[in-house]
Structure 1
Amino acid sequence: MSEESKFPMDDLVDTGVVDIAPEEASPPGKAPTAPSAFGKLLNNLPLLGIGLVVSVIGLIGVLMWQTQTTALQSGYVEESSLLLMLSQRVAKDAREAVLGNKEAFATLQDSKNRINSILKTLVDGDDRLPPSPATVSGTLQPVKDLWSALDTDVAVILTNKPALLSIRENVAAINQLSPLLLAISDEVVEALIAENAPQKIVSRAGTQRTWSQRITKDVNVFALGGMDAAVAATQFGKDAKLFQRINRGLRRNASPAVIEKIDASDEVFNQLNEYIQAAQQVVTEFFVSQRSAQRITENSEKFLVEIEALVASYQNLYGNIKYLKTLPFVLGGAALLFFLLFIRSLVASARQREFESNEQNREAQAAILKLLDEMGDLADGDLTIEAEVTDQVTGAIADSMNYAVLEMRTLVRQINDASAQVTTESEGTREKTASLQAQTGQQSEEIGTATESIVRMAQSMEQLSESADGSAEVADGSVDLAKQGSEAVASTIQGMNTMRDKMQETGKRIKRLGESSQQIGEIVGLIDDIAEQTNILSLNASIQAAMAGEAGRGFAVVADEVQRLAERSAEATKQIADLVNNIQADTNEAVSSMEDATREVVENTRLADEAGRALGEIEKVSEELSTLISTMANTARQQSEEATGVSGTMVHIRELSTQASRTTTETAESVDRLSVLAGQLKSSVAGFRLPAEE
């Protein structure tokens, strides 16, 4: 058979390219007419596809750019518009925070953080917005500069939050105690009148009512701030001292009933005075925060004007490129035109291919029907047929079918020969495997019996070895314990001797410690007096610095620090005095305990010496017993190891025998299955009809 007639596949492949599509669909069965030059241009699919892609990409790019610029402009306007609201809220919250409004601090901190975040976004950009364009830098920079100054003042107010809140709380407590103090002062006057006290004393007691009212008034004036706050801060401190001095004067030569009223007045005034002193300690922070709030209020209007200019700049950011709004419509129209022309060209090309395909299908159907008629007997197992090879589309299929029939003839003959040979060989193999299976079964049973006997013997030897090892460990443990006991007793005796010497030396040092603690107590009293005087001086300096304004701000900080150091020094001296008293009491108890402990150490040393001699005798007996038990354990261990080795070998032999028996059984079963399969294979090819042998 020639190479051309064997695989004529080139007839099935259409390698030509249809470059010209008809202008209109041709009637069925007729070839289309050739189009004009303009028709070729309109039906050029690559050119139309390129035009469509370019116009669509341009349209998408313009729409994306417009969407992006609109989103950016909206983002800039939104962020900058927030500054309008936040700028006014900062001024309001700053005033409220200085007056001690707790909620104002939270909103002031939030406004500060949000303004910083918005300005950082406008300048440096973030995940949503890029940095602001250079066209708005002229209006953005003044906003940044003004906020830098405002931010500093806001930070001052937030830093002084504890001081401002404490002033509000202290003023509220003073206002609450003031009516009570006023009522008690009236009771003191009434008691003096009832006892016919001199008019001078009654008049002096009556002034206490005036001082208490003026103290309350000055404290509230101070809390409201303003021009009179500094004067009020100094005045209520002086009035408080005057109130205390008048009460001390009234107490002299007064009756018990009047003294009881004065004591009640002092008790209430001491509480009120604590709040006054607490307010005086933070007077510097209050005045500094008040000035910061004033500057924020003054600059807030200017800040608002600059922000409004910034918002207007962002609103006009892309106002000069309106001509691009018509470009999407132009590109969209072009894309639609290219799309319609592309669809028209595809339809014409599809009609051309449909005509050619119908002609090829008609020829192929005729050739296939002829081939099916020639190959009909193959379905009945007739391998003597041979199809005619032609130059039509089925020629290659007919050649391939003839070659397949030839190979099937050879395969059927080989299957028949092989199935007969397998049947013969499987019969002989079945007889041999049956005999081998019976022998391996008997051998496995005998090995199993011997293995069980050896395993039981090995287990008995192993138990004997374990018991001997346990006895040896117990004996060694008793020897070690005896040695440790002897060493512990010797160490105990030595430690007790050393303890006795150290306890005597410690007793002497404790006595010297008691003498030194008495001297420390005297020094602590002197330090306490110095701390009290320093506290008074620092308070006066703080008030003078607050009155000096900005010029005294640095000195006020130093005065406050000195006052805090003086208070901590006074508190520390009180703690040291308490510690010194405790040390003196503990020293006396320690000396007495040391003497008792020394006597007990001497007695325990004698008892430990006797225990050491007894443990020495126990150690000698334990060593002899340990030697005997170790020898017995070694002998038992050697015998157990030998028995275990023999047992392991027998177990392995039994496993090999069992595995061999199992393999023999499986081999016999495989031979039976092979014989059955050979018969089935021979039956499966019996239906094929082969040509006569030459």
Structure 2
Amino acid sequence: MRVTKSATDASAGLGRPILVWGVLFTLLAILTGLAILKGNQLERAGRETSQVTGKMRLLSQQMTTQALSASQGAQQSFLLLKQYESEFSNALSELISGSEDGQVEPLPPELMPELEQISGQWEQYSGDIDAILQSRESITRATQAAIKVQEKLPQLMSDSEKIADTLRKRLPSSGRQIYFATYQLAIAQKIQNNLNTLLNGGVEALSVADELSKNTERFSQVVDGMLTGNTKLGISRVSISSAREAITRVVSDFGDIADQAGLLVEAAPDLYQVKEVARNIEAQGRLLFEGTGRLEGSVQEYNHGNELWVKLGFALGILALLAFFMLLMSVYRSTRGQLLATKAANDDNQRAILTLLDEMSSLADGDLTVQATVTESITGAIADSTNYAIEALRSLVTAINRAASNVARTSRSTRETALRLSEASEEQARKIVSTSESISDLTDSINKVSQSAERSATVADQSLNIANKGVETVRRTIEGMDSIRENIQDTSKRIKRLGESSQEIGDIVGLITDIADQTNILALNAAIQASSAGEGGRGFAVVADEVQRLAERASNASKQIETLVKTIQADTNEAIQSMEKSTANVVSGAHQAKDAGHALEEIEQVSTRLAEFIKGISEEAREQSLVS
């Protein structure tokens, strides 16, 4: 106890340095954290501001690029231009008044003059961007019209060149037509040049628009004159079919080109204005890019001044580490004194435990009369609890001895009861033997019933098989009748076609008869002409007589063929009627076979149910026999 008290006094003496160094370390750690936090805040704010200025510089380039693309009609550029304009405006607002989430702080007053200069440039720049965005519909129409014209112009010029080549080859002497064909090819080339100049913009765009309108009108007059003729211009109508086909294609294609060219002429002032605005944006974009670059450099220089807080935080951190080292030394001294006091207390406890173990050795040998010594040391409570447990064990052993005596008396009573049960079991066995003999007789009867049921089931199965075979035979008969019916119908169709062919032969025979009659008439006329010709037509008369005889023979042969054809048609009709009757008989037989099949199927179903019923009786009898 004296060792513990001295250790406690030593620990109390060492506690004051721990408190002092702990408070100092805490203050320095807090100051270090505040300095580093302030430095990080300034660094983060500076980094966010630098990112915003860098983003503005990049957006100034992207907006200039997209504005130029939008002026050329690129639809995606309009969307990107509007997006970049909104992002640049938001970034400028964040630098002026800060962001809503507080991540970007307003620029310090030292940098505001440069930001105001950029803001002034932005007002004019954004106005030009809005002008391009508002002209989107006009630019889109003009661009689409130009695309359609450019798609059709190559084919138009190719057809125009084919027209000129065809006229030069087929009509080399027609100089005026060749001239106008070449002239309309030159006009098509001018239209293409006018279109390119108009899309590029510039001062020439307005004058080129009038020239484009005049060229389209001239081209239309020339091709119409080549197709239909134009006396006013002195253009004669082209008559060559291949050239006219090419001129027709040119007229069709030029109709669409003229419509689109009209749209381009209407949009020429807007295109000129958009091109001028795009040039202004390109010039202002360079100024805006340079201004945002200077602002970005100024922001980076300003951010370098915020590093003082970080350096201060590092210095305070070093001091905090020194204070922490002194705190550790004080804690080490205090802990060492407490360890010495704890070691002394442990030695006292070990001695008390050894004493208690010596007293408990007799209890381990089975001696329940032992009593442990109760002291004020750490083992005093254990000794008191051990004495209580020994007393409880003595009471338990006494109760076990009394229970053993009661169990012995109960065992003797149980033996007497078992003897009486043995005698009753022998009497029950004699009665069971008598019952078994009766059950054996009942089992023999059930076995006989089961055998009869099995024979009945076999007969039912045979009846079912016969019914199945009958159903299958009827089914094959029906299929055979169906096949016969199809063959008869096919034969009937062939005979019908033979009758139709006979009819056609009759028509041909009629035609031959008509030809023979006409030939006979012609031979008669030839004979009359030969007789009127006198001696010079005698040879012709002989030929006419021969032709007449051939005509009569052909007429007689055609009549015989007609008689045979009618006979064939009559026989064919009778065969068709016979086939139809046979078909009806086959169909009737098929229906009767189906009815027989249905009857056999019903017999099959009844036989199946009967077989199942008999099998059920047999199985129940067999089960009853096994149970018995």
Q: What is the TM-score of this pair, normalised by structure 2?
A: 0.54
CA distance in 2: counterparts of 1:55 and 1:308, whole angstroms? 41
Q: 1:147 to 1:128 in 2, by over 3 A?
A: farther
Counterpart contact for 1:170–1:279, Cα < 8 Å = no
- Residue 270 of structure 1 corresponds to which residue in structure 2? 252
CA distance in 1: counterparts of 2:50 and 2:401, whole angstroms? 93
- Residue 191 of structure 2 corresponds to which residue in structure 1? 215
Q: 1:145 to 1:121 in 2, by over 3 A?
A: same
Of 115-124 and 241-250, deviating more is 115-124
CA distance in 1: counterparts of 2:258 and 2:310, whole angstroms? 71
- Residue 154 of structure 2 corresponds to which residue in structure 1? 176
CA distance in 2: counterparts of 1:401 and 1:257, whole angstroms? 138
SS of 1:382's partner is coil
CA positional deviation for 1:385: 0.6
- Residue 314 of structure 1 corresponds to which residue in structure 2? 299
Q: 1:313 to 1:383 in 2, by over 3 A?
A: same
Q: Which amino acid aligns with 1:129?
A: Q
Of 188-197 and 56-65, deviating more is 188-197
- Residue 127 of structure 2 corresponds to which residue in structure 1? 149
Q: Which amino acid aligns with 2:8?
A: V
SS of 1:257's partner is coil
Q: 1:347 to 1:359 in 2, by over 3 A?
A: same
Q: Which amino acid aligns with 1:130?
A: V
Q: Deviations over 1:554-610 (max 9, x none)?
A: xxxxxxxxxxxxxxxxxxxxxxxxxxxxxxxxxxxxxxxxxxxxxxxxxxxxxxxxx
In the alignment, structure 1 residue 48 sits paired with structure 2 residue 21: yes
- Gaps in structure 2 of 5+ consecutive residues: 426-628
CA positional deviation for 1:293: 1.9
CA distance in 1: counterparts of 2:284 and 2:404, whole angstroms? 110
Q: 1:210 to 1:330 in 2, by over 3 A?
A: closer
CA distance in 2: counterparts of 1:410 and 1:13, whole angstroms? 44
- Residue 350 of structure 2 corresponds to which residue in structure 1? 365
- Residue 235 of structure 1 corresponds to which residue in structure 2? 211
2:391 to 406, 410, 419: 406
Counterpart contact for 1:185–1:209, Cα < 8 Å = no
- Residue 35 of structure 2 corresponds to which residue in structure 1? 62
CA distance in 1: counterparts of 2:6 and 2:396, whole angstroms? 42
How many pairs were matched up? Answer: 406
Q: 1:386 to 1:273 in 2, by over 3 A?
A: same
Q: Which amino acid aligns with 1:372?
A: L
Q: 1:51 to 1:158 in 2, by over 3 A?
A: farther
- Residue 590 of structure 2 corresponds to which residue in structure 1? none
SS of 2:239's partner is helix
CA distance in 2: counterparts of 1:109 and 1:364, whole angstroms? 86
Q: Deviations over 1:75-100 (max 9, x none)?
A: 32133223323322322332244335
Counterpart contact for 1:94–1:154, Cα < 8 Å = yes
Q: Which amino acid aligns with 1:62?
A: A
- Residue 639 of structure 1 corresponds to which residue in structure 2? none
Q: Which amino acid aligns with 2:344?
A: E
Counterpart contact for 1:191–1:257, Cα < 8 Å = no
Q: Which amino acid aligns with 2:221?
A: R
Q: Which amino acid aligns with 1:381?
A: G
- Residue 584 of structure 2 corresponds to which residue in structure 1? none
CA positional deviation for 1:334: 1.9
CA distance in 2: counterparts of 1:203 and 1:257, whole angstroms? 16
In the alignment, structure 1 residue 74 sits paired with structure 2 residue 47: yes
Q: 1:280 to 1:370 in 2, by over 3 A?
A: same
In the alignment, structure 1 residue 244 sits paired with structure 2 residue 240: no
1:349 to 328, 331, 334: 334
Tell me the C-alpha RMSD between the 2 structures: 4.3
Q: Which amino acid aligns with 1:399?
A: D
CA positional deviation for 1:377: 0.8
CA positional deviation for 1:378: 1.1
Q: 1:256 to 1:316 in 2, by over 3 A?
A: closer
CA distance in 2: counterparts of 1:425 and 1:47, whole angstroms? 82
In the alignment, structure 1 residue 129 sits paired with structure 2 residue 103: yes
2:275 to 290, 305, 314: 290
Counterpart contact for 2:50–2:296, Cα < 8 Å = yes
- Residue 261 of structure 1 corresponds to which residue in structure 2? 243
1:95 to 49, 68, 92: 68
- Residue 335 of structure 1 corresponds to which residue in structure 2? 320
CA positional deviation for 1:311: 1.4
Q: 1:112 to 1:402 in 2, by over 3 A?
A: same
CA distance in 1: counterparts of 2:80 and 2:150, whole angstroms? 23
Q: Deviations over 1:661-688 (max 9, x none)?
A: xxxxxxxxxxxxxxxxxxxxxxxxxxxx
Q: 1:196 to 1:332 in 2, by over 3 A?
A: closer
CA distance in 1: counterparts of 2:368 and 2:2, whole angstroms? 28
CA positional deviation for 1:340: 1.6
CA positional deviation for 1:65: 3.2
Counterpart contact for 1:215–1:236, Cα < 8 Å = yes
Counterpart contact for 2:67–2:129, Cα < 8 Å = no
CA distance in 1: counterparts of 2:186 and 2:348, whole angstroms? 130
- Residue 390 of structure 1 corresponds to which residue in structure 2? 375
Q: Which amino acid aligns with 1:85?
A: L
CA positional deviation for 1:235: 2.5
Counterpart contact for 1:97–1:164, Cα < 8 Å = no
In the alignment, structure 1 residue 225 sits paired with structure 2 residue 210: no
Q: Deviations over 1:366-408 (max 9, x none)?
A: 2222222122111122210112223444333322322222233
CA positional deviation for 1:335: 1.2
Counterpart contact for 2:153–2:192, Cα < 8 Å = yes
- Gaps in structure 1 of 5+ consecutive residues: 1-10, 23-34, 439-694
CA distance in 2: counterparts of 1:419 and 1:220, whole angstroms? 125
Q: Which amino acid aligns with 2:360?
A: M
Q: Which amino acid aligns with 2:53?
A: S
Identity %: 22
CA positional deviation for 1:222: 1.0
Counterpart contact for 1:102–1:165, Cα < 8 Å = no
Q: Deviations over 1:283-329 (max 9, x none)?
A: 53644543442342242133224322431342244454454243123
CA positional deviation for 1:412: 3.2
CA distance in 2: counterparts of 1:177 and 1:50, whole angstroms? 93
CA positional deviation for 1:115: 4.0
CA positional deviation for 1:127: 7.1
Q: 1:203 to 1:353 in 2, by over 3 A?
A: closer
CA distance in 2: counterparts of 1:425 and 1:165, whole angstroms? 118
Of structures 1 and 2, the larger Rg is shown by 2
Counterpart contact for 2:148–2:260, Cα < 8 Å = yes
Counterpart contact for 2:53–2:296, Cα < 8 Å = yes
Q: Which has the higher helix share?
A: 2
CA positional deviation for 1:271: 1.4
Q: 1:196 to 1:358 in 2, by over 3 A?
A: closer
Q: Deviations over 1:210-234 (max 9, x none)?
A: 4333222212211211112123223
SS of 1:18's partner is helix
Counterpart contact for 1:166–1:279, Cα < 8 Å = no
CA distance in 1: counterparts of 2:162 and 2:45, whole angstroms? 71
Counterpart contact for 2:7–2:341, Cα < 8 Å = no
In the alignment, structure 1 residue 280 sits paired with structure 2 residue 258: no
CA positional deviation for 1:171: 4.7
Counterpart contact for 1:219–1:236, Cα < 8 Å = yes
- Residue 608 of structure 2 corresponds to which residue in structure 1? none
Counterpart contact for 1:170–1:276, Cα < 8 Å = no
Q: What is the TM-score of this pair, normalised by structure 1?
A: 0.50
